[in-house]
Structures are given as structure tokens and as C-alpha cells.
Structure 1
Amino acid sequence: MGAKDWMLFYTEGDVRPVLQAAPPLDRAATRSLVERLYPGHRLTEVEDGTLARNTNPADGYVYAACFPGLSIVCTGDVALDRPSTLDRRFLDEAKGRTLYLHAMHSVVDWLAFAVWTGDGRVWRSLSLSPDHGVQENIGPPFAFEAPYWAGEHPVEPDEDEDPYPLPFHPLELAEDVLREWFGFVQEGQAYADDPDLYRVPLAGFLVAAV
């Protein structure tokens, strides 16, 4: 698996239909969103990206989009080993909406995800990797997690490898989280009616402190 991302989704309803519709990007609202999240910073617009290619921007870059009923922010500032410590400014931006965090990195088999209710309460947060184990596990697991914790997705090591230190591969669960929450995957089993992530634009910004 070669996928990695660090992103927030602020939602007022189902994400999948919005992405399937691929509505035009509200550029003014998107810039205002990034300005609110990065006060005291200078924003320099860079070339637009897409949800297919720019979910893991390098440090100093932010890719974001505002659509009807959905806002997306991709930034390394949310790649947290303990998602529940997400900076308050990102939580305050939800303003009654459900907030989802999804982050993963294939090089280290790391997954972190979390969801906050409209009143800002952490409903579920999980972070784990084979090197560091379970670093955070808050709230009741979602139903789609149950087979993983029940041992139904074991990692079979090669003959010369030690047993995998977790009961499942984090990136396998990571793809199921994407499917359940947003209706797409990066490297999992795609379906013919999945949103075309190349048609979902993200505005790019270089963000620098002043």
C-alpha cells in the first residue's frame, strides 16, 4: 500500500453525494476558511490540486475546498498521533457540523482517525501503528471496525518475519474508514459509481507566518 493523507472533512450530511456531484469550488469561501484557520499567516495561492492527488501536502502547504454542505482541509497540522489533541481552531471551525479527521502513512503502517459531534465532543478516536501500538483509543468502535478487532483480518507474516504486532493491518482499516465515511477509497476496492476524485478540486495555498 502506498497511500497517505492528512485531512479534515466538515460535513452537514452525507459526503459521498457531494463528491459525486463534483460541484464548483467556492474559491472565496475556501480562502476565508484557510484564513480563519491560519490567522497571522500570509497565504500565497498555488496551483489547484484535487482530492486524488493532494490529500497529503508538505509542511507549509494547505489544500482546501468549500462546497455546499461540505468543507475539506488537507494539512500536515492534523497528522496527529493522538487525534483528540487537534488544535482548538480546527474544532471551532465546525460550528455545529460533524468533523472527521483521517490520516494515514503507508511507510510506517500508521492510521489515525477521529470524529467529533456537532457540539465539539469526541465521539471516536483511534491511532495505531506496528511500531508504537495503540496510541489512542477513545469511544466505542464503529460497527465496521468489529471484524478487525475480532481477529477476522489477521496479517500473515512471511516465513522469515516475526508475527505482526497488531491484530490487523492499519491501512486495511484505513481504507474501510474512507469508504464508510466518505464513499471512496485510495487503494482499496473501488466501485464503478465511486466519486471521481480527480474531478474534486482543492485550492492550494503556501502558508507562512508573518
Structure 2
Amino acid sequence: MSFPAVVTLWFVNTATPGDVLAREPKADRGFGRKLLAQVNPAWPITPIGSFPLNRSSTPGRDEYYIAGFPGVSVVRMRVDDASALSAGNQWLGALPAADVFAVATGTDSDYGGFAHFTGETVVRSFCATRTHVIEDIGLPEPFEAPYWAGEKAEQAGGIALPFEPQDLALAAERHWLGADIGADGPDINVVGYAVDGHPEPKIEAPKPPAVKSVDAVAAKFAEKDKTYDDYEDAPVQSEGDEFAELADASVAAAKRVGRDARRRWKQFWAALRQRVRHFDR
């Protein structure tokens, strides 16, 4: 039986990855492109955007979310079967790392898994659904204790595990990295790439706001004055915006007047030269 899942791989070369992530470093677009080209030179690579990993949707098929920071690199992808993380894949050796941590959450089931590799050695790997343990390699680590004790989930009874495997997988990620990888944690900036050949999305530049006329802004002031009598305090919340609008409108009006004056002056001199040219007639 296969278990489709979203898998996040962390390549760690520092004793304090949480400190690196806490600084919210920016992601380099070139890093992910080079990494994908190394894994499969035949892929047509298209950047699809930059965003925080911890507040993004899951990657689609043929999409990868990648970032490389000092001492920490991350790759998130969708796989068709993550049932045995200890088996590894082409990604485990993609980057040199003292430790590689894999975290998997099922896309259409309650499957959850996590694995820790030191070099090519599997230190710990656990993959399961609530009712079926697929893989259990190595000794449980101390952070797992409250989950096995049933302190983190309602008990389902029968042969069900005393915890949700996805919850334990995410707890492993927090423990290994020393940081909250969820929405409440630091922004982990990544770049998304597609390898299915579709073109890079086009982003239109925002249009500048339209400048109102002086008459329109003055009418707004007049309408405001009519709304309140002399004994009431008119709200001042938007006065700054209205004065800014009046200034913008005045500048625009001055520019229009200047353009009109220059045009009329040119027309006057053109007519004068024409009359002088034909004066002897």
C-alpha cells in the first residue's frame, strides 16, 4: 500500500539551525535552480514565486519549494509514496550535510513519518498511520515520550496508536531544528519551482492611483463641513489623507496649467511668424 505525502527534507550543517531560521534569511533563486539541475539535468525549471514555507500551501505535483541558508537547506516536495522513509531517494545525497531530517505528512490519509540520517546511517525512522505501523527503526527519542504516553491526543482504543502520527512527525521537526516551523514561527523564505515546463507567471506592475481634481477634493471638504454643526467636533481621522489629496490635485492642476500655457505660447509664436512671413503680400 502506498502513502502519498508531502515530504520536507532538512540538510543541516550547524548545531543551532533554529538560530539560523530565526533570522528569517532571504532565499536565493539561483540556489534552487542549480540544485534541481543537479538532481535531474533534463528538467525544464521555472520559478513560480517566493514565499514563506511555513505559511504556504502544499506543493503541487512537479513542484519544489527550496531554500539554502548558512548551515541549513530545505526542500519540500510531493511524493507518491513515503511509506518507508529509511529507504531514502535521490534527494538524500543532493547536498552535503552532517544530518538530514525527513518529515512526511499524508495528503489523503492520516499517515505521518519522520527520519534522521547521519551520513548514510538511519539513526531513527518512524512511519505510521493511526492504526498501522509501517516502519520503526532506532530508539524513540525523549521528545516522543508524551506522545507514546497518550498525553497529546484523545485515545481511539483498540489497536490505534496513542497519538496522531502527523503530530509526532511535526514534533520531531520542531525538536531537531529548534524552531517552530508553523505559522507562529519565523518566516522560512523559500522559492518555488515547477519542472513540468509551464511558463513563469507574469506579474503586472500596480497602476498608480488616479489623482483627483482640485474641485473634487474641495467639494469633499465642503461636504464634510456640511455634515457637522459648529458645536460638534468633526472627526479628524482622514484629514491628513484629504490634505494629501488636495496637494496631489493642486500639483496635477499646476502641471496641466503649465502644459496649456506652453501650448498656447507656441501657437502664438507660430501664428506671429506666419504673419510676418506673409506681411509683404
> Fold conserved (TM > 0.5)?
yes
> Structure 1, residues 61-84: CA drift from partner, whole Å, max 9, x if none?
111001111111011138611101
* Residues 11 and 97, structure 2, Cα contact 8 Å, conserved in 1: no
Work out whether residues 12 and 97 of structure 1, in 8 Å CA contact, stay in contact via their aligned partners in 2.
yes
1:184 aligns with 2:180: yes
**Pairing partner for 1:204 from 189, 192, 197:** 192
Task: Give percent identity, aligned residues only.
Answer: 28
Q: TM-score, normalised by structure 2?
A: 0.61
Bigger relative contact order, structure 1 or 2, given CA contacts below 8 A and separation 6+? 1
Partner of 1:135: 134
Query: 1:4-34 CA deviation, whole Å, 9 max, x = no partner?
Result: 8421110112221111101122222222112
- The answer to whether the Cα contact below 8 Å between 1:49 and 1:63 also exists between their aligned partners in 2 is no
Q: More strand per residue: 1 or 2?
A: 1
* Bigger Cα displacement from structure 2, 7-16 vs 30-39: 30-39
What is the SS of the residue equivalent to 2:54?
coil
Paired residues for 1:33-182 under 5 Å:
33-54=35-56, 56-77=58-79, 80-87=82-89, 89-105=90-106, 108-117=109-118, 119-131=119-131, 133-153=132-152, 155-157=154-156, 163=158, 165-182=160-177
Q: Count matched residues.
A: 191
- Alpha-carbon RMSD across the aligned residues, in angstroms, is 2.5
- Unmatched runs of 5 consecutive residues or more in structure 2: 198-281
Higher Cα radius of gyration:
2
Q: Which residue of 1 aligns with 2:11?
A: 10
- Partners in 2 of 1:143 and 1:38 — Cα distance? 38
Q: Conserved in 2, the CA contact under 8 Å of 1:78 and 1:86?
A: no
* 1:96 CA displacement: 3.9
Correspondent of 1:24 among 19, 23, 26: 26
Report deviation, 1:92.
1.5
1:42 aligns to what SS in structure 2? coil
| Richer in helix (by share) | 2
User: Structure 1 CA distance, aligned partners of 2:40 and 2:60?
Assistant: 16
